[in-house]
Amino acid sequence: MKTIIEPFKIKSVEPIQFTTVEQRERILSEAGYNPFLIRAADVLIDLLTDSGTSAMSARQWAGMMDGDESYAGARSFYRFESTARELTGFTHIIPTHQGRAAEKILFTLTGGAGKIIPNNTHFDTTRANVEYSGATAVDLPCKESRDPAAVSDFKGNMDLEALETLIMDKGKGNIPLIMLTVTNNAGGGQPVSMSNIIGARKISKKYGIPLFLDACRFAENAWFIKLREKGYAEKSVKSIAMEMFSHFDGCTMSGKKDALVNMGGFIAFNDGQLAQNARNILIVTEGFPTYGGLSGRDLEAMAQGLEEVLDEHYLTYRIRSVGYLGEKLTAAGIPLLQPPGGHAVYIDARSFAGHLTPDAFPGQSIVCELYRLGGIRTVEIGGVMFGRTDPGTGKFIPPPMDLVRLAIPRRVYTQSHIDYVIEVVVEAWEGRKDLPGYEITYEAPMLRHFTARFRPLNG
């Protein structure tokens, strides 16, 4: 087979800034060793997130100029609504300014003290919104996901037996909805199979509990189903995506992922009463229901993006470019969460920096080193993001894994950028024995990873 190439040519470019190791050491220290606090201008290759970092297409930009900025009933809303409705099949489509605004509305309506929300794995903002409502977020990842090195097709699946046990233990009246996240972002960007979705649907029907989709990466998930699940190879990715949505009662969506926009999102329902209640909250917190915190131009770009993301040349390139990075790092002996995810490669930080205990934040240490060595910004998904302190004993409770995520923005970097990233990660791997541990010197009460400050230990 011939090389899979970027299925676009570049019309507009943005220069990136080169810095020296010495400059980056100073920048890191000033930023409290937290890459969220580094200025983007000081980053060479930014793999912090794939969220809102997509390059928009010429057609999306054309849509921006064509946006209807009327307060109510804008043409751009109706274009967006019909595109999202055709794709998802949901009756009520409500725009929000991004995914977490959709989550805030959903859990304001359904959460609250005593309620339990199961998910294959909650993303950080989803968990925060569940907990903020007073409810408890429970992760039920499948058993295959526990071994980071094991290669398996659908490690994003939910453990359906555990789901049924949870419902029986806690009582279906305490579980307002079941959520599935595709792909499973916090669990390594791993896909969820159609059969797992159908299994979750059966349980949801059996107990009369609504099933909601966190649809952020629906197109990448549909592409994995096409590649890996029996019976789907000949189906179009759009029909697979539509089939996925057909099993749910509603969804939350961050347009900053698979709608290829820099800002936007939506929440969708079949239930008219829930939708009405959601619109009432939306008006207080986001805006009128035909714009929901967005400009008309944003709605145009999101409608166009929802169509472009299903292009199979795009998805071939997208998934292959992440796979390429994963294969090269694996070949160098670097421990990764296997197989590479749809939008990111995850380094298994506990194996990479085996001399550091989880309470010394091995993931944070690797993140700092990748920036120091090569100006690459990545993010820790481990003890900093999800670790807890036991209120009784004051002891640190680490999450199951410490990962470093290298998230690939959509349509932004070329293969030579990725080759450079590989060289830097390999250099960090060769010097891994000297990686220092870190301690936290400041943390916020919620979502602490965004603003925490650190100090290297013995350094």
Ligand X SMILES: *Cc1c(COP(=O)(O)O)cnc(C)c1O
Q: Which two tokens stand for residue 45?
A: 């290759």
Quick one: which of 287, 192, 285 has its CA closest to 247?
192
| 145, 193, 254, 378: which one binds ligand X (CB under 6 A) | 254
Q: How far, in whole angstroms, is CA 437 from its chain's centroid? A: 26
Assess 256 for contact with ligand X (CB under 6 A). yes
Distance of CA 84 to the CA centre of its chain: 20
| 3-state DSSP assignment of residue 210 | coil
The one segment of 93-101, 267-275, 334-342, 366-374 that binds ligand X by CB under 6 A: 93-101
Smallest gap from Cβ 333 to ligand X, in A, equals 29
Q: Which is nearer to ligand X, 247 or 256 (CB)?
A: 256
**Phi-psi domain of 333 (left: phi exceeds 0; alpha: psi -120 through 50; beta: other):** left
* Tokens 């000081």, located at residue: 42
What is the per-residue binding string for ligand X in 12-31, x denoting contact by CB under 6 A? --------------------
Is 99 an interacting residue with respect to ligand X (CB under 6 A)? Answer: yes
Out of 48, 84, 109, 216, name the contact with ligand X by CB under 6 A: 216
For position 365 contacting ligand X by CB under 6 A, the verdict is no
Candidate residues 35, 176, 265, 335; the one interacting with ligand X per rule CB under 6 A = 265
Per rule CB under 6 A, is residue 120 in the interface with ligand X?
Answer: no
CB of 214 to ligand X, least distance (A): 5
According to DSSP H, which parts of 332-410 are helical?
349-352, 362-374, 383-386
Give whichever of 257 and 432 is closer to ligand X, judged by the CB atom.
257
Q: Which of 2, 6, 98 is nearest to 311 (CA)?
A: 6
Between 46 and 65, how does the x/- string for binding to ligand X read (CB under 6 A)? -----x--------------
Size of the residue set binding ligand X (CB under 6 A): 15
At 432, which amino acid appears? R
Residue 121 near ligand X by CB under 6 A: no
Q: DSSP string covering 22-41, please? A: HHHHHHHHHTTT-GGGS-GG
Rule CB under 6 A: which of 124-153 touch ligand X? 125-126
Q: Is 181 in the site for ligand X (CB under 6 A)?
A: yes
Is position 157 an interface residue for ligand X (rule: CB under 6 A)?
Answer: no
Query: Hey, which bits of 330-449 come out as E strands?
Result: 344-348, 376-377, 379-381, 388-389, 396-397, 403-407, 438-442
